[in-house]
A and B are shown apart, each in its own frame.
Chain A
């Protein structure tokens, strides 16, 4: 081995310093433009941050693939993993007439809506999109509902809101999405499926469809949306129940 020359030492030192300050600057910019996911810590943090940042740069406004009516699955699969609980059963026996959807947090006009309110007060949209589970299986259905941004706009989002947190009636599942997904035209507050009511097995009476992410972000039996600028205040501060159970918060892959 030849001894390290002074020139080489200086070049290496300058390159290392530039690299470190470059990384620090990149981290600052990423934070500013919302490219860092809530679960950015730990050994899997760098990979998760790269995925989320790359997707946000590439796909902020892109539209999930939609399919012709002929491709609607004849055998969709209702993945029922979490018990729906007593509160759900009580509302079900009441034909969901007492179902309330609450919109609160950083909004100027908090809302409490019945299913009838949601169906009559907001524009009705439908989309034929695919549900893809992280396990590997999938199906296509037509989903009918109102875009989430219509409801959020009616509630009057404050400008500094960065995440929408949402909860299931099963009192177990809670999720959050960033504003790119929350305000996306295909993020659908869904009550109908394939020209009928949304069946309970598929999330009826009310499910949030997030078609640009895997199935686990499309929470069934939604009862509450909370607008926030600080996701750390919720649960363990990792964005949703997924990282608490070892799964990625961002499921667009």
Chain B
């Protein structure tokens, strides 16, 4: 794999302190939400569409794993230990960290021009064709050009925009749609999604999409030089010589 000249690396802009702090807060809370979310799922690994669904209702689909509740018909003769108590406490505490982080990041990103400058695909370079061309370039494993070494390319921009402005807001919304108290004040949060069980099913699929992003994101970082990328996101500088994957 070709390398980028160190000259460009030293010119690469720092991540602002705000981006770095909110990035790692998001990482910590997302991992906590993921682990506890999987744990909560184990108590009822069945999914439905609409408002209601239970053991006596035909499911939309079933995750083929044992449950932590013996009355759930999973076909397994194993009952996993119940860990929902601390999982639920931690899930909602981590959700608060995520929401408050998103609030700060959202306001700052709006007013600092971070979204407009760094994230939204640039005018004249946001067509489907532009995305395909950049993807082809990745597949050829061509080195990033001059501009890309200092900024995000169109695929990165689109991926970040989808995650930040669609997937995260949607996963927060579908989570709130499962709250009997929140939906008492804002019933549309549940009804617009087709009901409580639809919200739960969407919450599950959105998690899948976020995990897919996480896998691709970490893979790309590993391929472009794990240590220098980590240094950039921790210390804000990326001046180290480029590593090979």
| A residues whose Cβ falls under 8 Å from a Cβ of B | 44, 46-48, 50-51, 55, 58-59, 62-65, 67, 71, 73, 75-77, 79, 130, 132-140, 211-214, 242, 245-248, 252-253
Contact of B44 among A47, A136, A253 (CB under 8 A): A136
Shortest distance from the beta carbon of A217 to any chain B beta carbon, whole Å: 10
Shortest distance from the beta carbon of A211 to any chain B beta carbon, whole Å: 7
Report 23 cross-chain contacts, Cβ distance below 8 Å, ordered by A residue: A47-B89, A47-B90, A48-B93, A50-B96, A51-B92, A59-B181, A59-B184, A59-B185, A62-B185, A75-B56, A134-B84, A135-B84, A138-B51, A138-B52, A138-B53, A138-B196, A211-B180, A242-B85, A247-B84, A248-B85, A248-B88, A252-B182, A253-B92
Bound Cα distance from A242 to B85, whole angstroms: 8
**Chain B at the A interface: SS class:** helix
B181: which A residues are within 8 A, CB to CB?
55, 59, 62, 212-213, 252-253
Bound Cα distance from A242 to B41, whole angstroms: 19
B197: which A residues are within 8 A, CB to CB?
138
Contact of B237 with A by CB under 8 A: no
Shortest distance from the beta carbon of A22 to any chain B beta carbon, whole Å: 16
Bound Cα distance from A46 to B181, whole angstroms: 19
Q: Is B180 touching A64 in the complex (CB atoms < 8 A)?
A: yes
Shortest distance from the beta carbon of A38 to any chain B beta carbon, whole Å: 14
Name B38-73 residues within 8 Å CB distance of A. Answer: 40-41, 43-44, 46, 51-57, 69, 71
Bound Cα distance from A130 to B177, whole angstroms: 13
Q: Is B55 touching A44 in the complex (CB atoms < 8 A)?
A: no
Bound Cα distance from A26 to B190, whole angstroms: 32
Bound Cα distance from A111 to B181, whole angstroms: 30
A46: which B residues are within 8 A, CB to CB?
93, 96
Q: Is A47 touching B178 in the complex (CB atoms < 8 A)?
A: no
B183: which A residues are within 8 A, CB to CB?
64-65
Q: Is B180 touching A132 in the complex (CB atoms < 8 A)?
A: yes
